[in-house]
Chains A and B, each alone.
Chain A
Amino acid sequence: MDFLRLEKLTKRFGGLEAVGELTIAFKRGHITGLIGPNGAGKTTVVNMITGIIVPTNGDIWLGARSLTRIQPYEAARLGIARTFQNVRLLTEASVLDNIVIGFHRHQKSSLLANSIGLPAVWREKRDFRARAHALIERFGMSELADRAAGALSYGHRRLVEVIRALALAPSFLLLDEPCAGMNDVESRNLGLIIRELAKEGVGIVLVEHNMRFVMEFCEHIFVVDSGRLIAEGGPQAVRNDANVIRAYLGN
């Protein structure tokens, strides 16, 4: 369970190859960057790992378990959480309820028990709410717990989405452009949070455009262009790689 590996992962949409024979691995407890110019296939990779898109070829492994052809909910149950490029919260629901729903993975009571409201179900509900409150408090959002999620500022909404993903107690957390639309202070604070999470053993996969952010927080970086791996290594090595410079700046 310590590694999330992609082996020759390929996705073709008709004649267009979005991702081609990508072989990379992410490790628990580390922040790994997945970067590349627009249209490089980064989000496609995230969608394949989380079961939203079925790969054309290749395999995805979580430890010894294949994730290649699973449903999104199965990926979540195996401990793979994600956030979305454009924040997707349940806008009608309160911040607290948004996070409580993240605990669904841990629900043990059956559909029948929930239908008739056995005592265990209410115990579980109280437990989820208490744990959600604890998470909210950890990120300093307690004052906003009862606000409708749709009424929050952009930075707060991003943070709620991250907290919701953490409610799954994931082994890997896939962040799809978490800094989009954030100012420098906000993104730096988010960086500090994910660094803390990595220390606790979560594997962070960071898909991001903000170079400064990536260089500061990632320990290892994979660079893709047109769906293919063109470089990998530490921030310094990647920054000076000729292929990377060509992909971003042109010849």
Chain B
Amino acid sequence: MGGFVATWQPLFDLICIHCILAYSQYVALRAGLFSLATAGFASVGGYAGAYLLKTLHWDPVVSGFAAILAGVAAGLFLSLPLARLRGAFQAIATIGFVQIMVSLTLYAAPFTGGALGLNGIPKVATTIPLIVVLALTIVLLTTINRTGIGRAFDAIRQDYTVAGSLGISIATYFRYAFALSGGLGALGGCLLGFNTYSVQPEVFGFPLLVSSIAAVILGGRASVAGPAVGTIFLMALPEIARPLADERLLVQGVLLIAVIIYLPQGIVDSLLQRYRSVKTRRLSTVAQSRAQEGPYGFPSA
């Protein structure tokens, strides 16, 4: 039993952290933002947290909160120009942001340690704190989905002209989504540093950008369970099927293509949709026969 825990605990920790990063990406997509800035936010949070904890010897919890605030600030800052852009332009601009963060952390050596990064960070983000933080994140996102914010996000994502005509301020909700995505991304980056002893520029580069969006597409973009399932798939599969581990990127690519073809809504959302359509088909035959003639005489299809 002890051997089992020792073997799988590091993987479990990483899955928790990458779940949070996937949620940062998820929030953006949910709101109809084509932001790919998660890796950049993670860089902000990773370095801010590590600097405060290791160099300034702040309390870990305070450092973590400060890292989140830095991410929220970065998100709000990005939203100033980007809340007015749409689609592909947002995507390109946010990729630029990720690249800028990689360069910044390379050149600002006095604070960031340059290419070597910051090393010897105390391991404060152990399994129990990680589980607690992830649980809080899930509660937060579930709440948002079920309240007015989720409604507004859904409307904006599906048709922003309609959303505007119903009184939803798109710029406000884009700013909010950027701030939340920034906070969660920074939290994930910070936890990564607090768990793996070090932060380096390339850890927060293009591969992290790809893996966080892959987790969301693989798992599902609508339900909160989606990104978590996607992350588990992406991270655990190569470990369980050991021979696949060397071909991690290949496995990731094949998985993504297969899911996009066969489960275009992602694993969780596609399965939920299938379950719901079976249920409504059973109910709708009854409803339809009763609704043939409403009081205003609209015949149903």
Contact = CB atoms under 8 A, between A and B. Distances in A.
B140 interface: yes
Nearest to A145: B287
A73 interface: yes
Q: Is the interface of B mostly helix, strand, loop or mixed?
A: helix
- Among the interface residues B154, B166, B288, B299, which one has the most CB atoms of the partner chain A within 10 A? B166
Given A115-B144, A140-B294, A144-B300, A76 B176 contact: no
B148 A164 contact: no
Contact of B166 (A124, A168, A193): A168
A193 B294 CA distance: 13
Interface residues of B, number: 40
Contacts of B166: 73, 76, 101-102, 104-105, 164, 168
Contacts, number: 138
Interface in B154-209: 154-155, 158-159, 161-170, 172, 176
Interface residues of A, number: 57
Interface in A133-185: 139-141, 143-144, 146-148, 151-153, 155-156, 159, 164, 168, 185
B261 to A, nearest CB: 20
Nearest to B265: A92
B259 interface: no
Contacts of A143: 287-288, 290-291, 294
B237 interface: no
Contacts of B295: 139-140
B48 interface: no
A251 interface: no
A71 interface: yes
A100 B151 CA distance: 8
Interface string A98-134: 0011101101010100111100011011000000000
Given A111-B149, A143-B291, A186 B298 contact: yes
B151 to A, nearest CB: 5
Nearest to A122: B147
Q: Is the interface of A mostly helix, strand, loop or mixed?
A: helix
B164 A153 contact: no
A140 B295 CA distance: 6
Interface string B110-154: 000000000000000000000000000000100110111101101
A228 interface: no
Given A92-B158, A117-B147, A146 B280 contact: yes
A202 B155 CA distance: 25
A141 B167 contact: no
B298 A156 contact: yes
A250 to B, nearest CB: 35
B5 interface: no
A147 B284 contact: yes
B162 A140 contact: no
B143 A117 contact: yes
Nearest to B150: A114
A189 interface: yes
A115 B143 contact: yes
B300 A153 contact: yes
B147 A114 contact: yes
A93 B167 contact: no
Contacts of A52: 161, 164-165
B151 A73 contact: no
Contacts of B291: 141, 143-144
A141 B166 CA distance: 21
B298 A121 contact: no
Interface of B: 140, 143-144, 146-149, 151-152, 154-155, 158-159, 161-170, 172, 176, 280, 283-284, 287-288, 290-291, 294-301
Closest 10 A-B residue pairs measured CB to CB? Answer: A72-B164, A140-B294, A76-B167, A153-B301, A105-B167, A117-B143, A140-B295, A143-B291, A114-B147, A189-B296
Interface of A: 50-52, 71-73, 75-77, 81-82, 84, 88-93, 97, 100-102, 104-105, 107, 109, 111, 114-117, 121-122, 124-125, 139-141, 143-144, 146-148, 151-153, 155-156, 159, 164, 168, 185-186, 189-190, 192-193
